[in-house]
């Protein structure tokens, strides 16, 4: 076939999708334990939500968004991230109307037009949690603890919280000026992207991956002595909260989020051995996002984690994904008489209704029934524990030979006995 999946997107095939299901199961349970309710958001929103909410000076809005006009002439965008949509939904439906925290989570596909590389796709999947409507540090500590707990339950090694504050509109301009002065004095050492960023958003220079820029950024002033009283107290409360829960954290003055709406707390969680650490999630506080998209004042804090990336890191670290779903029984027709075929169909269905994963032959592409021998081959390939060979005896009774594929032992059973005998074999 000439038609392939578009560049930068991929199929999650059955040998991987069960690992995803495991990650999402663990995530859903942890979210529930922390009081976060699941929400399903639309995959596309009005373009304005992201251009105003994510910030025009970010790479996402400048280069990476999938924008389109629908048949009604509306400007729409495939969501590049979930937070803006979450805030939009919470405001639209009055989820924070009670004045208390609204704890939400979602997961699903996000879209960014980036250069595809290993572990990075143009359609990627994120887990996202947000606590909306409260400004105190308790919410920040809870969100950080929630993300760390998901990764602990998934078995990721050596988890470490990396923490910073990005200040607020009151104190950030002071820091911005300091940074502008510092980076301007080293213009010759900066990459060309950073030269453009310098005037528009000098904070972005701190997380440039180019070695030249990195050296200049390492020598840059830290935000800590620029923080206003409110931001400094909040930062202190978050640090105390994390210490109180026994979390290992380090401060990193170069940790800034790529998105303009972040205020105060910014954090990442790293996993892996020293020198080979990977960021498994990033998040922080965004007290001004709602207002920047025309909503009421609605403080929030949250995190996002990429599912593709989590699965990849779990595989690298040899983490368990639980049990791969197994087929238990393959029901084989010994001949193609109508009585036997009907008995195969009804036995398979009966086992499935009992919660026993069962399979039968569905014929070939031309609609022809396959021989008993090739059905046994399929049973072998499927790795089932039991093959149930269905036939008719001389007095036209249906008889079933249950073959244990592990031991080779074979016994006969009536159709109504098969489910019970399979279940009994679990307990041996």
Tell me the closest approach of the beta carbon of residue 189 to Zn ion, in angstroms: 9
Stretch that binds Zn ion, among 10-18, 152-160, 231-239, 243-251 (CB under 5 A): 231-239
Question: Interface with Zn ion by CB under 5 A: which range of 66-74, 188-196, 275-283, 401-409?
Answer: 188-196
| Count of chain residues binding Zn ion (CB under 5 A) | 11
Of positions 74, 170, 248, 414, contacts Zn ion by CB under 5 A: 170
Q: Does 171 bind Zn ion (CB under 5 A)?
A: yes
The answer to whether the beta carbons of residues 183 and 60 sit under 8 Å apart is no
Give the residue, chosen from 220, 231, 256, 418, that forms a contact with Zn ion under the rule CB under 5 A.
Answer: 231
**Residues 275-294 as x/- pattern, contact with Zn ion by CB under 5 A:** --------------------
Residue 49 or residue 231: which is nearer to Zn ion going by CB?
231
Cα 59 to chain centroid distance, Å, stands at 22
Considering the complex, state which of residue 4 and residue 209 has its C-beta at the smaller distance from Zn ion: 209
The minimum distance between CB 245 and Zn ion, in angstroms, equals 25
**Cβ 285 to Zn ion shortest distance, Å:** 11
Select 160 or 193, whichever has its Cβ closest to Zn ion.
Answer: 193
Strand, helix or coil for residue 189: helix
For the CB of residue 218, give the shortest distance to Zn ion in the complex, in Å: 13
Is residue 213 at the binding interface for Zn ion, with CB under 5 A as the rule?
yes
Return d(Cα 273, Cα 159) in angstroms, integer.
9
Taking the C-alpha atoms of residue 165 and residue 206, their distance in angstroms, rounded to an integer, is 13
List the strands of the sheet with 75-78, edge to edge.
44-46, 75-78, 66-69
- Note whether 399 binds Zn ion by CB under 5 A: no
Our CB check for Zn ion shows the closer of 60 and 217 to be: 217
Q: In sequence order, what DSSP letters do the residues of 243-272 get, joined into one string?
A: HHTT--EEE-TT---SSTT-EEEEEEEEES
Q: Which residue has the tokens 């090739």?
A: 374
- Choose one: 73-81, 221-229, 265-273, 402-410; the region binding Zn ion (CB under 5 A): 221-229
Distance set, CA 114 to CA 8, 62, 87, 127, 305 (Å)? 8, 12, 25, 19, 17
* Sequence-ordered strand ranges (E) for 11-159: 37-38, 44-46, 66-69, 75-78, 102-111, 123-132
Choice between 77 and 165, CB closer to Zn ion = 165
**Beta carbon of residue 227, minimum distance to Zn ion (angstroms, whole number):** 6
Strands across the sheet with 398-404, in order? 358-360, 329-333, 386-392, 398-404, 410-413
Q: Could you say which of 168, 220, 293, 351 contacts Zn ion (CB under 5 A)?
A: 168
For 413, the token pair is: 């059973």
The Cα 104–Cα 37 span in angstroms is 5
What's the token pair of residue 308?
A: 């593709």
* CA gap 424, 404 in Å, rounded: 13
What's the closest the beta carbon of residue 39 comes to Zn ion, in angstroms?
Answer: 30
Q: Does 232 bind Zn ion (CB under 5 A)?
A: no
> From the CB of 166, what's the least distance to Zn ion, in Å?
9
300 forms beta bridges with 132
Q: How remote is the C-alpha of 329 from its chain's centroid?
A: 33
Q: According to CB under 5 A, which one of 208, 343, 358, 418 is a site residue for Zn ion?
A: 208
Residue 177 — left, alpha, or beta (φ > 0 → left; ψ -120 to 50 → alpha)? Answer: alpha
Contacting residue, 91, 163, 194, 269, with Zn ion by CB under 5 A: 194
Q: Is 191 a residue that touches Zn ion (CB under 5 A)?
A: yes
Smallest distance, Zn ion to C-beta of residue 208, A = 3
Residue 216 contacts residue 190 (beta carbons within 8 Å): yes
Contact 156, 271 (CB under 8 A): yes
Choose the stretch contacting Zn ion; rule: CB under 5 A; options: 6-14, 225-233, 306-314, 334-342: 225-233
CB of 62 to Zn ion, least distance (A): 15
**Residue 138 vs 228, nearer CB to Zn ion:** 228
Q: Is 115 exposed, middle or buried (0-12, 13-18, 19+ CB in 10 A)?
A: exposed
Instruction: In angstroms, give the least distance from the CB of 222 to Zn ion.
Output: 14
Q: Are 45 and 88 in contact (CB under 8 A)?
A: yes
Nearest distance, CB of residue 204 and Zn ion, angstroms: 9
Is there binding between residue 228 and Zn ion (CB under 5 A)? yes
Q: Which of 53, 55, 133, 167 binds Zn ion (CB under 5 A)?
A: 167
**Segment contacting Zn ion by CB under 5 A, of 78-86, 185-193, 320-328, 406-414:** 185-193
Please, what's the largest Cα pairwise distance for the chain?
98
Q: How far apart (Å, rounded) are the C-alpha atoms in residues 135 and 286?
A: 10
Residues that bind Zn ion (CB under 5 A): 167-168, 170-171, 191, 194, 208, 210, 213, 228, 231
């Amino acid at each position: 076939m000439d038609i392939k999946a578009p560049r930068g997107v991929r199929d999650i095939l059955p040998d991987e999708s069960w690992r995803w299901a495991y990650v999402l199961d663990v995530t859903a349970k942890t979210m529930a334990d922390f009081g976060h309710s699941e929400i399903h958001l639309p995959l596309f929103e009005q373009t304005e939500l992201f251009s105003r909410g994510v910030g025009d000076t970010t790479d996402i809005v400048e280069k990476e968004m999938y924008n389109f006009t629908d048949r009604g002439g509306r400007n729409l965008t495939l969501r590049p991230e979930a937070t803006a949509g979450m805030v939009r939904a919470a405001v639209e439906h009055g989820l924070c109307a009670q004045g208390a925290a609204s704890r939400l989570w979602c997961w699903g596909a996000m879209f960014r037009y980036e250069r595809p590389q290993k572990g990075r796709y143009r359609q990627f999947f994120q887990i996202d949690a947000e606590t909306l409507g409260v400004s105190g540090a308790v919410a920040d500590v809870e969100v950080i603890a929630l993300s760390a707990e998901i990764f602990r339950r998934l078995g990721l090694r050596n988890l470490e919280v990396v923490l910073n504050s990005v200040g607020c509109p009151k104190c950030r301009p002071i820091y911005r000026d300091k940074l502008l002065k510092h980076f301007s004095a080293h213009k010759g050492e900066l990459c060309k992207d950073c030269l453009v960023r310098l005037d528009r958003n000098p904070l972005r220079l701190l997380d440039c991956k180019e070695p030249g820029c990195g050296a200049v950024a390492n020598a840059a002033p830290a935000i800590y002595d620029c923080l206003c009283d409110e931001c400094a107290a909040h930062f202190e409360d978050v640090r105390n909260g994390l210490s109180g829960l026994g979390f290992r954290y380090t401060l990193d003055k170069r940790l800034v989020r790529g998105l303009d709406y972040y205020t105060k707390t910014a954090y990442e969680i790293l996993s892996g051995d020293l020198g080979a650490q990977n960021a498994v999630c990033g998040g922080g506080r965004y007290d001004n996002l709602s207002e920047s998209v025309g909503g009421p004042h609605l403080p929030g804090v949250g995190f996002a984690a990429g599912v593709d990336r989590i699965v990849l890191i779990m595989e690298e670290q040899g983490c368990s994904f639980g049990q791969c779903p197994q087929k238990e029984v393959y029901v084989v027709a010994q001949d193609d008489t109508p009585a036997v075929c009907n008995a195969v169909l009804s036995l398979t269905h009966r086992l499935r209704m009992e919660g026993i994963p069962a399979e039968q032959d569905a014929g070939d592409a031309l609609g022809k029934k396959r021989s008993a021998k090739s059905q046994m081959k399929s049973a072998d390939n499927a790795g089932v524990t039991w093959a149930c060979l269905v036939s008719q005896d001389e007095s036209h009774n249906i008889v079933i030979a249950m073959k244990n594929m592990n031991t080779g032992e074979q016994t006969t059973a009536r159709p109504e006995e098969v489910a019970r005998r399979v279940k009994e074999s679990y307990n041996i």
